[in-house]
């Protein structure tokens, strides 16, 4: 084998070795990149969960006090700038303790969930319904006369909460 052929062979081997190293490092980097993407996705999911826990009631899924007050402030500022008004109402369920005491906390939770849904439907997209815990659910909205009610938002909220409901579970309630 001539000197030139030996040099060419060495160059080919070195080139093949270099190609293999590059392939291995590329594979390692691709795996590291995939791992980072998974970790970023997990972190974003955890951040979303923490944000939700920080601003929403765990039972009803409605905004909590902190988020509600922020939305009231934003609504107030916006209404003041436009010369409008904002209605803020507090809905509290009378005699709710009787439900918890006689039917249990699970039944009480179902009532709170149903009331939360009714309040959200009554307020609609023009406002915010929240849950502060217990039986207190404040509502903030642009005041308007709801269809079919004489008293606008307060009447609409009351009417939606007064409508009878029936729930049945395995105990027959």
**For 7-25, what is each residue's pLDDT tens digit?**
999 999 999 999 999 999 9
Classify residue 168 as exposed, middle or buried by CB count within 10 Å of its CB (0-12, 13-18, 19+). exposed
What lies within 8 Å, CB to CB, of 98 at 6+ separation is none
User: Is the residue at 172 inside a domain?
Assistant: no
Q: Which two tokens stand for residue 109?
A: 């939770």
Query: pLDDT tens for residues 70-113?
Result: 999 998 888 888 888 888 888 888 888 898 899 999 999 999 99
User: Is the residue at 169 inside a domain?
Assistant: no
CATH number reported for the structural domain that contains residue 90 in this entry: 3.30.70.270
User: Which single residue is written with the structure tokens 């009803």?
Assistant: 60
User: Is the residue at 20 inside a domain?
Assistant: yes
Do residues 154 and 84 make contact, with C-beta atoms less than 8 angstroms apart? no
The rounded distance, in Å, linking the Cα atoms of 99 and 112 is: 11
User: Is the residue at 155 inside a domain?
Assistant: yes
The rounded distance, in Å, linking the Cα atoms of 154 and 2 is: 100
User: Is the residue at 167 inside a domain?
Assistant: no
The secondary structure of the chain in percent helix, strand, coil, rounded to multiples of 5, reads: 65, 10, 25
Do 24 and 79 fall within a single domain? Answer: no
Domain boundary among the residues 17, 36, 55 is at 55
Do 15 and 48 fall within a single domain? Answer: yes
146: left (phi over 0), alpha (psi -120 to 50) or beta: beta
Do 33 and 93 fall within a single domain? Answer: no
Do 49 and 97 fall within a single domain? Answer: no
| Residue 51 confidence (pLDDT) | 96
| Residue 172 confidence (pLDDT) | 46
Give the DSSP letter of residue 57.
-
Torsion sign across C-alpha atoms 136, 134, 94, 115 = positive
What lies within 8 Å, CB to CB, of 120 at 6+ separation is 62, 129
Instruction: Determine if the pTM surpasses 0.85.
Output: no
Do 35 and 81 fall within a single domain? Answer: no
Do 81 and 45 fall within a single domain? Answer: no
Count of domains for the chain: 2
Do 17 and 93 fall within a single domain? Answer: no
User: Is the residue at 89 inside a domain?
Assistant: yes
User: Which single residue is written with the structure tokens 């005699």?
Assistant: 95
Domain limits for position 125 = 65-162
């Amino acid at each position: 084998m001539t000197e030139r052929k030996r040099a060419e062979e060495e160059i080919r081997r070195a080139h093949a070795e270099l190609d293999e190293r590059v392939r291995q490092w590329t594979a390692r980097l691709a795996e590291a990149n995939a791992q980072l993407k998974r970790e970023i996705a997990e972190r974003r999911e955890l951040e979303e969960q923490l944000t939700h826990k920080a601003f929403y009631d765990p039972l009803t899924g409605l905004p909590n006090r902190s988020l509600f007050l922020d939305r009231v402030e934003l609504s107030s500022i916006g209404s003041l700038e436009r010369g409008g008004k904002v209605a803020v109402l507090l809905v509290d369920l009378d005699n709710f303790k009787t439900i918890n005491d006689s039917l249990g906390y699970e039944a009480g939770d179902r009532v709170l969930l149903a009331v939360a849904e009714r309040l959200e439907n009554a307020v609609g997209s023009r406002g915010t319904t929240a849950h502060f815990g217990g039986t207190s659910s404040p509502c903030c909205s642009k005041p308007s006369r709801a269809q079919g009610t004489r008293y606008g938002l307060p009447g609409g909220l009351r009417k939606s909460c007064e409508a009878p409901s029936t729930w049945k579970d395995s105990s027959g309630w």
